[in-house]
């Protein structure tokens, strides 16, 4: 074989190998960037949801605190309730973003939070209704039930946090 031809073939093989390596590296880099982009979107969705939950839970605590008084200030309770309802809508919106970003395990976790929230809200609404009616017969029982349901809600939020951490870290 002629030395010139061997040099040309060697250069061609070397170029093809370099091109192949560049393609493989480019694909790997694109995949890594896409994964980082997806983790960033998920992190933002999960943080938004947790932030909305936090704001709503503070509003809920404010209602429960107002209801603990011997004679609750009913206009204040009603205003706090309106704020809670508005913030609950924000939680629902944020949960929809979590559902879009996935994975399914996070949607299941938001559903558990929604159920725990609904159970606590049911007791809270009854307490507000009783306060308006001046009925204190169930106050101690409902206060204890609200505390138990609040703990169940906080456990559901903790479980969401753990699942979100796994989804962001790529373990889900």
Comparing 19 with 80, the larger pLDDT belongs to 80
For range 154-167, the mean pLDDT = 94
Contact assessment for residue 149 and residue 119, using Cβ atoms and an 8 Å cutoff: yes
Query: Residue 9's pLDDT is what?
Result: 72
Distance of alpha carbon 100 from the chain centroid: 11
Query: Residue 172's pLDDT is what?
Result: 45
For range 72-86, the mean pLDDT = 96
Comparing 92 with 8, the larger pLDDT belongs to 92
For range 126-151, the mean pLDDT = 95
pLDDT in tens, 8-67: 677 777 776 676 766 666 666 656 665 676 788 889 999 999 999 999 999 999 999 999
Confidence category of residue 113, pLDDT binned at 50, 70, 90? very high
Q: DSSP per residue over the chain, as a string?
A: --HHHHHHHHHHHHHHHHHHHHHHHHHHHHHHHHHHHHHHHHHHHHHHHHHHHHHHHHHHHHHHHHHTSSS--HHHHHHHHHHHHHHHHHHHHHHHHHHHH--HHHHHHHHHHHHHHHHHHHHHHHHHHHHHHT--TTHHHHHHHHHHHHHHHHHHHHHHHHHHHHHHHT--
Average pLDDT taken over every residue of the chain: 88
pTM: 0.79
Give the relative orientation of helices 139-169 and 104-133 as an angle to the nearest 10 degrees.
160
Residue 51: both structure tokens together:
């932030």
Spans of all domains in the chain? 40-169
Tell me, which fold does domain 40-169 have in CATH? A middle domain of Talin 1 (1.20.1420)
């Amino acid at each position: 074989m002629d030395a010139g031809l061997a040099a040309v073939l060697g250069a061609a093989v070397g170029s093809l190998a370099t091109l192949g390596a560049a393609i493989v590296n480019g694909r790997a880099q694109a995949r890594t960037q896409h994964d980082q982009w997806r983790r960033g979107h998920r992190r933002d969705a999960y943080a938004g949801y947790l932030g909305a939950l936090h704001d709503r839970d503070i509003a809920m605590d404010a209602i429960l605190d107002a209801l603990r008084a011997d004679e609750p200030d009913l206009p204040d309770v009603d205003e706090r309730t309106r704020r809670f309802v508005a913030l609950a809508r924000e939680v629902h919106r944020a949960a929809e973003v979590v559902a879009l970003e996935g994975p399914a395990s996070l949607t299941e976790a938001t559903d558990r939070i929604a159920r725990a929230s609904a159970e606590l809200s049911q007791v809270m609404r009854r307490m507000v209704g009783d306060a308006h009616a001046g009925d204190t017969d169930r106050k101690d029982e409902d206060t204890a039930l609200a505390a138990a349901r609040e703990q169940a809600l906080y456990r559901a939020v903790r479980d969401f946090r753990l699942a979100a951490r796994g989804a962001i870290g790529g373990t889900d």
